Structure 1
Amino acid sequence: MSAQNSAGIQTLLDAEREASKIVQKAREYRTKRVREARDEAKKEIEAYRAKKEAEYKEFEAQHTQGNKQAEEEADREADAKIKEIQEAGKKHQDKVINDLLSAVFDVHPTPVS
């Protein structure tokens, strides 16, 4: 009976070792699969980020172009207005100087009552 008990105990120990190996393999597989899933998710996130960044740059380029055109148009209008003001200043420069000199030198004092 002792040999039979001994054989039964040995069988149980062998089964326990085998179960331990199976559990270890399952843990390794699960760890490996989690790493693969994490790496896969990182790749998907990076691809999504790159796609959105490209879309943003395209959007920015399209709208910046419109702003540049508006800015150039505003610059042209401002330059034309400045030129117009300068020409008007040159045209009436003598009269303005004479009016200023007249105001300074032709004093008409009035008594204060």
Structure 2
Amino acid sequence: MSQSHGIQTLLEAEKEAAKIVEQARQYRVQKLKDARSQAAKEIEDYKKSKEEEFKAFEAQHAGTTSNAQTLVDKETEVNLKNITESFNKNKEQVVNKLIDRVVLVKPELHRNLSKVEA
């Protein structure tokens, strides 16, 4: 009877140990789930803060883009005005030179032709 009592005690101890191991596993699994959810929350918070930081940076520098565009537009207007003035100032001279070249033709033999005859 003492042997069966010892075996019974061992079986009860084994069941108790299995319960303790199962509780430890459940505790570990729960801790992992908690850690994952906490990490996901921290990642989301960090992502939101960086997005806000980027939007603030973008808003701060958006004005410089429009300022740069205004500056380029003014510079383009000045250059266009200079080109127009230069055109108006020199167009008559250019037209006269073109007419002179077209109208005043000096008939001459081609330079290669004169070498053949010589």
TM-score normalised per structure 1 = 0.82
- Aligned partner of 1:36 in structure 2 is 34
1:98 partner letter = N
For residues 58 and 88 of structure 2, the distance between their equivalents in structure 1, rounded to whole angstroms, comes to 44
Identity %: 44
For residues 109 and 70 of structure 1, the distance between their equivalents in structure 2, rounded to whole angstroms, comes to 58
For residues 9 and 57 of structure 2, the distance between their equivalents in structure 1, rounded to whole angstroms, comes to 71
CA separation of 1:35 and 1:73: change in aligned 2, threshold 3 A: same
Give 5+ residue unaligned stretches, structure 2: none
Q: CA deviation at 1:73?
A: 0.4
Cα distance per residue 1:40-83 (max 9 Å; x no partner): 01110121122112212322332242133122201211122112
- Aligned partner of 2:56 in structure 1 is 58
For residues 80 and 37 of structure 2, the distance between their equivalents in structure 1, rounded to whole angstroms, comes to 62
Paired residue secondary structure (1:107): coil
1:14 partner letter = E
TM-score normalised per structure 2 = 0.79
Q: CA deviation at 1:109?
A: 5.9
For residues 109 and 66 of structure 1, the distance between their equivalents in structure 2, rounded to whole angstroms, comes to 63
For residues 44 and 104 of structure 2, the distance between their equivalents in structure 1, rounded to whole angstroms, comes to 81
For residues 78 and 44 of structure 2, the distance between their equivalents in structure 1, rounded to whole angstroms, comes to 50
Q: What do you get for the CA RMSD once the two structures are aligned?
A: 2.1
Between stretches 102-111 and 62-71, larger displacement belongs to 102-111
Between stretches 63-72 and 6-15, larger displacement belongs to 63-72
